[in-house]
Amino acid sequence: MAEFDRGPTDGLAALFARVPDPPVTSAFWFDWGPVFYRGRLDGSARVLIVASDPGPTERIAGRSLVGNAGQRVQGFLTKLGLTRSYVCLNAWAYALHPGEASAMEGRLGEPAQRQWRNSVFDRATDTTLQAVVAMGFLAQEAVRLWTARPPVTLVEVPHPSNPNTAALLDAWRDAVALLRPLVTPDEDGDNTGPTYGTAFEESDYGAIPRRDLPFGAPAFLGDDAWVRAGPGGAQNAVRRPSPDDGHTLIWKAPG
């Protein structure tokens, strides 16, 4: 039987449903609703990835870190030997307009936001957790505000979409080297392969596993290798057109 994500437990679904509205609606891509997680919510995760906020592909999938950035994260997890024992969360459950990210860093500490987010972090992790990786400044602030964070290694690295590719790869290369001795690989994983060179190669990406996506997701969702291989430098099959980026998505399937 094909693997697929059966969704959160009733308790976690109830917690997700209590997500507070963003503090400043105009800063957020609000009308499409929140996106909460990807990966294991049953406490079996050995690594927690925290990123910033969902994007267009994440809205299609209803799962976090599925687009080009998420496929880079999947490649990062693959280099740690993890094929399933991870969970991916975000600082914000609602998508930010890119230019508003810095302005929203300080709002992560508002009591309703902090309490709800910390409850999600608490419920999504257990004693099996071996490391937390905070990707980008919003994620790093959210983790700093996590009062009950387990006493495991915290690694802070640039967000996978950071435009300074050299700094991103240097930090991710160091993070892989640091985490490999600390994180137990999955039985079908391998943490002995190459890490990162001076540019992202297609081998540095990972297709999102079917077990992380809802039943019925098309086979190409979460694998944009065909987009990256095309001309023009496109990276995602889903985009928000300007100026109507708050209400319209354009999703292209491979030919």
Domains by residue range for the chain, with CATH: 34-195 (3.40.470.10)
What is the pLDDT averaged over residues 147-154?
A: 97
**What are the φ and ψ backbone dihedral angles of 12, each rounded to 5 degrees?**
-70, -35
For the ranges 8-22, 149-163, 181-195, 239-253, the lowest mean pLDDT is seen at: 239-253
Checking if the pLDDT of 1 tops 80, the result is: no
Rounded Cα distance between 29 and 45, Å, is 29
List, in order, residues 6 or more apart from 184 with CB less than 8 Å away: 46, 81, 85, 130
What's the whole-number average pLDDT of the chain? 96
Residue entry with tokens 């892989």: 176
**Strands in 105-201 per DSSP E:** 131-135, 153-157
Residue closest to 211 by CA, chosen among 7, 51, 49, 47: 7
pLDDT at 232: 87
- With beta carbons less than 8 A apart as the criterion, state whether 48 and 130 touch: no
Checking if the pLDDT of 191 tops 70, the result is: yes
Rounded Cα distance between 224 and 165, Å, is 19
What is the pLDDT averaged over residues 143-155?
A: 98
What is the pLDDT averaged over residues 224-237?
A: 93
Rounded Cα distance between 95 and 54, Å, is 5
Name the residue with higher pLDDT: 24 or 74.
74
Checking if the pLDDT of 245 tops 80, the result is: no
What is the pLDDT averaged over residues 110-134?
A: 98
pTM as predicted: 0.97
